[in-house]
Amino acid sequence: MKLGRGNSFWRKLAIWVPYAWLVAFFLVPFLIVLKISLSQTAIAQPPYTPVFDFAAGWRGLRDFLAGLSLDNYAFLGSDPLYVLSYMKSLEIAAFSTLLLLVVGYPIAYAITRTPRRLQAVLVLLVVLPFWTSFLIRIYAWMNILQHDGPLNRLLLLLHIVREPPAWLSTDTAVYIGIVYSYLPFMVLPLYATLEKLDEQLFEAAADLGCPRWKTFWLVTVPLSAPGVLAGALLCFIPIVGEFVIPDLLGGSKTSMIGQTVWTEFFANKDWPTAAAVAVVLVCLLVTPIVALQYQAMRGAERS
């Protein structure tokens, strides 16, 4: 028997209030972005012509469809600035996801090796920094990475470098910032998968004379694939659209796509181009997003 059996008033309310909210403030805005990306700069700039004139009826719809153009997309393709920006975002996201996996896997694995009671505390310790502001954590790294900051002092003290290297405004700083900020997103799904693995499998492998590293490689790693996939998607998707980290830690040579949207919007006030950049970004991310959703929903239904 289900709570919402029958078509009671409460059932309708519980479904339709959040549903309507999400349609109004998530779906519709996105359709508006799509529409503006297809309109000409002159028309869509503020002050701004209405998206769709309902009063005009069918004629309005025809005019609306006739007014659409792919000019903005053609413009994106023709200007290397945008293409380079997409490439840069994908490159940084892919490489930092790999880095996150390399850094996160040993941590997640080590947590599962500790006693149960300690595991909960360690997981909390890993998650805690995630909830302190993104902005503040990046700012903390600006402190550390500045020219006469603690990192360079340490390196000079240990005679690792002779001249203090410049960290800020480099890709290295962006990678550090991303790995730092997204580490909990990687460790949590990995831990969730690793923690569920059957202990007897390892015992069996050990009984059959398999060395520990080989058990790890042949049993643990393949079985943790769903966690690796979830963690990688959970990091990769938002990193592609990242704005704060490249803006504060990165250089000005090539911007990531999140910065491009921001600049088009706030500095150039070119809304149709900003909208087109955003739509292409969503198209790039649609496959990983659907993959992640599929996995999340399957996970929710299974449990």
CA proximity to 195, closest of 120, 303, 99: 120
Q: Which of 1, 42, 55, 267 binds another protein (CB under 8 A)?
A: 1
Q: Which residues ranging from 208 to 267 are in contact with another protein (CB under 8 A)?
A: 233-234, 237-238, 240-244, 247-248, 258, 261-262, 265-266
- On the 0-12 / 13-18 / 19+ scale of CB atoms within 10 A, 120 is exposed
Q: Would you give the DSSP letter of residue 215?
A: H
- Out of 38, 76, 178, 183, the only residue in the binding site for another protein (CB under 8 A) is 183
d(CA 298, CA 303): 9
**Residues within window 147-166 making contact with another protein, judged by CB under 8 A:** 147-150
Query: What does DSSP assign to residue 280?
Result: H
Q: What is the chain's Cα-based Rg?
A: 25
Least distance from another protein to the Cβ atom of residue 278, Å: 5
Q: What part of residues 81-110 is at the interface with another protein (CB under 8 A)?
A: 103, 106-107, 109-110
55 binds another protein (CB under 8 A): no
Chain mean position to CA 242: 7
Q: Which stretch binds another protein (CB under 8 A): 18-26, 70-78, 154-162, 223-231?
A: 18-26
Nearest CB to another protein, comparing residues 10 and 217: 10
Instruction: Specify the stretch interacting with another protein by CB under 8 A; choose among 59-67, 71-79, 134-142, 218-226.
Output: 134-142
Is 64 or 265 the residue whose CB approaches another protein more closely? 265
Q: Of how many residues is the chain composed? A: 303
Residue (of 233, 214, 204, 221) closest to 299 by Cα position: 233
Among 25, 40, 61, 63, binds another protein (CB under 8 A): 25
